A and B are shown apart, each in its own frame.
Chain A
Amino acid sequence: MKSLAELKALRDKALEAITMRTDQDMTRIVIGMATCGIASGAREVMATLIEEIEVREIKAISVQPTGCMGMCALEPMLEIHRSGEAPVTYVALDAQKVKRIVHEHLVNGQVVSDYVIGKYI
């Protein structure tokens, strides 16, 4: 490393990888990963979500599996929690829908109303 600027750049990049060990405020995504979820394809949803986060270099984000949220017929489901915003629950997901959610909601801040839980009950 030849300069302080290089060190700072490396720091910022390295910090992304371990933000979850800090107290920093993060966007929290919770994915239903109970038997109903897994049976409906939640593992593929998880894998696609992670890939998209990597490709689009989204920062300060945490992804956690959770148990059965109750509406098993609507699995796979995920919820997005961001401080200052109401949580949004997306249902009946697949890989394609997840890609759209990442692009429109996570990156551009627009809720994808086609996939929210309200549209299905």
Chain B
Amino acid sequence: MPFYRSHILVCAGTGCVSSGSLTLEEQFNESLSAHGLEREVQVVRTGCFGLCEAGPICIVYPEGSFYTRVESKDVNRIVEEHLLKGRVVKELLFQDKSNHKNDAQQSIKEVDFYKKQDRVALKNCGVINPELIEEYIAFDGYQALGKVLSEMTPVEVIQTIKESGLRGRGGGGFLTGLKWEFAKNTTDDVKYVGCNADEGDPGAFMDRSVLEGDPHAVIEAMAINAYAIGAKKGFVYIRAEYPIAVKRLGIAIAQAKDMGLLGENILGTDFTFDLEIRLGAGAFVCGEETALIASIEGQRGMPRPKPPFPAHKGLFGQPTVINNVETYAVVPQIILKGVDWFRTYGTPNSPGTKVFALGGKIVNTGLVEISMGTTLREVIFDIGGGIPNGNTFKAVQTGGPSGGCLTKDHLDTPIDFDTLTSLGSMMGSGGMIVVDNQNCMVDFARFFLDFTVDESCGKCTPCREGTKRMHEILDRITQGQGTLEDLDKLESLSASIKDSSLCGLGQTAPNPVLSTLKYFKDEYIAHVVDKKCPAGVCKELLSIVIDERCIGCTACTKVCPVNCIAGERKSLHVIDQEKCIKCGACIDKCPVKCIVKG
């Protein structure tokens, strides 16, 4: 077996790929050959390391040197200095912005971003090459399946998952073991297991990273699930907008089949399990499990009333267990390392960890995995690096279009399923968007409603009509045409939509509005009573005014795209408020900063 003394791990998650990491991979290979190092150093493609804001990322082992924002021009230098001569290129290492340390972090283990994280679901992401089943196997891959098939009965498997307290990571938070048990106890011959890889929340990419970086974890978990409930066939429903994940999953399934880890008589037992990929077609609602089932069946993706629940009557009318990607990702480890190990992470009611896609106004945008019970403050400031550009934290939105926002008063809330719900938000699938003082909360709520109105399938009236009416009201408010009655109408509409919508999309669509109304009522009132947008975002409510500090330099008059600034040299310039389109070009240009938004 060839011995490579060094590995260069190049992140090939979608984020880094779109920043050119695959070109870097090629260039590293070329440079290594040119220096005669190709027999000593291996270039390895891996999944997402998580610190997406600093990509493309390359890690050199055995040192663990964490190179960030790597460009083509850096490749030869890294090869000549580090790989050939052993001199780590300090200027290209990750610099921890929040710490103002002078020495660049040497190794990935010392980076602040990773210190507070517990990478459990993401254990292999960024460590193995997802396109090589051997690397998954090297880190105990498929051992759990082997253990289950040779030492455990289906009942014992379910018991283990139940005792672990694992709850669905797709947002529902239902006890996974219990769902498996419901399906197991049905008497049907034909049962199915499914994986929900639709991940429609805007800004969420947790599941994508697991599938791109460690697809075998999901395959193995689905096989374990099938064994436990008595299924022989599984489907992974994955959105078509994830081409890299689809490709990697396809390669993984083929390799598993080749090795006899999928198909008939797995590992020499009489257990048979086959897995198929089904692509979504761009509908957020197909992340709802009954709509997902309808889609696989070839029907239009629309939800069905529950009960009956899919565990009793699902795909093609048969008992079906559908779990989220991240829920599956930890199953093999729970089987191998045990319930007690899993419960060392997290809280008693929410054991384990959760992956969050941290985005918005934050320094370290990327993927973060933390033990449940970690506080919002730790995630946003210690791991996330806080708010950039000297702005102040205003709110954090969790749960995407189904969730709510929390304010600085809630920063010390420990994150778990129940705490966030009790405050009017929810953990959801893991999207976490931070907003600062320059964001308008009314506009923010409208953004989410934009999305849900678009994605509503139209089947039930409360969602189809109700969310549209709410959106219209929010639109008018941001344009200065709202009234106080509108705020009451928003509340009552929200209540009826939540109460009577057929599925989770409608039932949770009002959440962003309700939570912003609860915690930022003053902003709504400013919009409807004073006709002002305190954050300076809603254009119709803005006036841009030149104050008396104007030096009459005419610079602004020249950049105005609609020529609405009148002014002679050395005299006070005036903006015509009727013509002004509030683009802000004059503000950027003014040398004395005398133009203000109000």
Contact = CB atoms under 8 A, between A and B. Distances in A.
B66 to A, nearest CB: 13
A1 B138 contact: no
B591 interface: no
B144 to A, nearest CB: 11
A2 interface: yes
A10 interface: yes
A113 B351 CA distance: 56
Given A14-B137, A57-B1, A63-B5, A20 B268 contact: no
A66 B81 CA distance: 10
Given A2-B268, A43-B36, A54 B5 contact: no
Contacts of B86: 30, 33, 64-67
Given A21-B9, A65-B86, A54 B40 contact: no
A107 interface: no
A7 interface: yes
Given A2-B268, A10-B134, A67 B36 contact: no
Contacts of A100: none
Contacts of B518: none
B135 A18 contact: yes
B260 interface: yes
Given A4-B150, A11-B140, A47-B39, A20 B62 contact: yes
Contact of A64 (B63, B140, B146): B63
Contact of A14 (B61, B62, B135, B149): B135
Nearest to A29: B5
Contacts of A1: 259-261, 267
B143 A7 contact: yes
A41 to B, nearest CB: 14
A1 B264 CA distance: 11
A106 B367 CA distance: 41
Contact of B139 (A2, A15, A26, A67): A15
Interface residues of B, number: 39
Contacts of A10: 134, 137
Contacts of A65: 83-86
B39 A15 contact: no
A17 interface: yes
Contacts of A50: 3, 5, 39-40
Interface string B92-129: 00000000000000000000000000000000000110
A62 B62 contact: yes
A63 B63 CA distance: 10
Interface in B376-433: none
Contacts of B6: 20, 63-64
Nearest to B129: A18
Nearest to A2: B268
B129 to A, nearest CB: 9
Given A4-B146, A4-B150, A64-B63, A17 B138 contact: yes
Interface string B59-92: 0011100000000000000000001111100000
A79 to B, nearest CB: 12
Contact of B5 (A4, A7, A62): A62
Contacts of A62: 5, 62
B267 A16 contact: no
Interface string B1-19: 1111111010000000000
A46 interface: yes
Nearest to A14: B138
Nearest to B87: A67
B142 interface: yes
A18 B7 contact: yes
A34 interface: yes
Nearest to B260: A1
A47 B2 CA distance: 12
B223 to A, nearest CB: 13
B146 A2 contact: no
B267 A11 contact: no
Nearest to B140: A11
A83 interface: no
Contacts of A16: 1
Interface in A49-70: 50, 53-54, 57, 62-67
A54 B5 CA distance: 11
A3 B268 contact: yes
7 contacts: A1-B261, A2-B268, A4-B267, A14-B135, A18-B138, A21-B127, A47-B40
Given A10-B134, A46-B5, 13 more contacts: A1-B260, A4-B146, A4-B147, A4-B150, A7-B142, A7-B143, A10-B137, A14-B138, A17-B138, A18-B138, A20-B7, A26-B62, A43-B36
6 A-B pairs with the lowest CB-CB distances in the bound complex, closest first: A65-B86, A14-B138, A63-B5, A4-B146, A20-B62, A15-B138
